[in-house]
Every structure is written in C-alpha cells, then in structure tokens.
Amino acid sequence: MSNQGQVPAEVIDCCSPLAREPLSGAQAVELSRLFKALGDPVRLRLLSLIASHEGGEACVCDLTGVFDLTGPTISHHLKVLRQAGLISGDRRGTWVYYRAEPDALRRLSAVLVPDAVVGA
C-alpha cells in the first residue's frame, strides 16, 4: 500500500489550530485591557510578586522596597493593576494588602495555553 495522499502526523501537529475558536469581540476587548495593564515591566513584576507571595497576599510595605521607585510611583502601578481587575486590596491600619484575582489570571492564561477555552 502507498502513503501517497496521506499527510504525515508531524505536519498535522504543526499546522493544527492552537485554539478551539477565535476570541469574540467582547473577549478581545476585555483581554486587551488586562494585557495592556501588564504591558509595563514594573506592573508585570508587581503582579508576579503579589501572586507568589506567601499566604496569597502582599502588603504594600513588602512591595515598595523591591523597586528603585518612589512610593507614589508604585501606588500608581498598583492602581492600574487594580483598575484592570488583576489585583484587589484592602486596608488594614496604615497598610494596604493586595492579592491577585484568580479569575483574571485564568482568563489571561486561557489565551496563552493551546486548546484552552476562554471565557470573558
């Protein structure tokens, strides 16, 4: 029997779609807002520090010493992340404690993982 007309498996794998379906307009708008907030290296690192902090939340006092930036600059970046819905925070005394929002992180990762279903 001949293999003529058959497509090798490695060609199928390399050319297969990476997602089940394209993003809807609403999904694209929502995800672009999240990715835009992460488009700054300081904000990306802040989110990483918060998400990986022991106990799942980080005090702003734990974040400011990591960067060679002023407190107001760090506050601005945290505000952008908060407005995008990537983090939330609550005040305890004089400090604010931040935590990453798992649903927002899942929406971002769903776009980056092949065959993931994205829900906005």
Report percent pLDDT > 90 for the chain: 55
Q: Higher-confidence residue: 116 or 84?
A: 84
Task: Return d(Cα 120, Cα 107) in angstroms, integer.
Answer: 7
| Contact between 42 and 67 (Cβ < 8 Å) | yes
- Predicted TM-score (pTM) of this structure: 0.76
Q: What single DSSP character describes residue 56?
A: G
Task: Return d(Cα 32, Cα 35) in angstroms, integer.
Answer: 5
pLDDT tens digits, 12-63: 556 666 566 788 899 889 889 999 999 999 999 999 999 999 988 999 988 9
User: Helix, strand or coil for residue 88?
Assistant: strand
Right CATH number for 41-108 from 1.10.8.80, 3.30.430.20, 1.10.1740.10, 1.10.10.10? 1.10.10.10
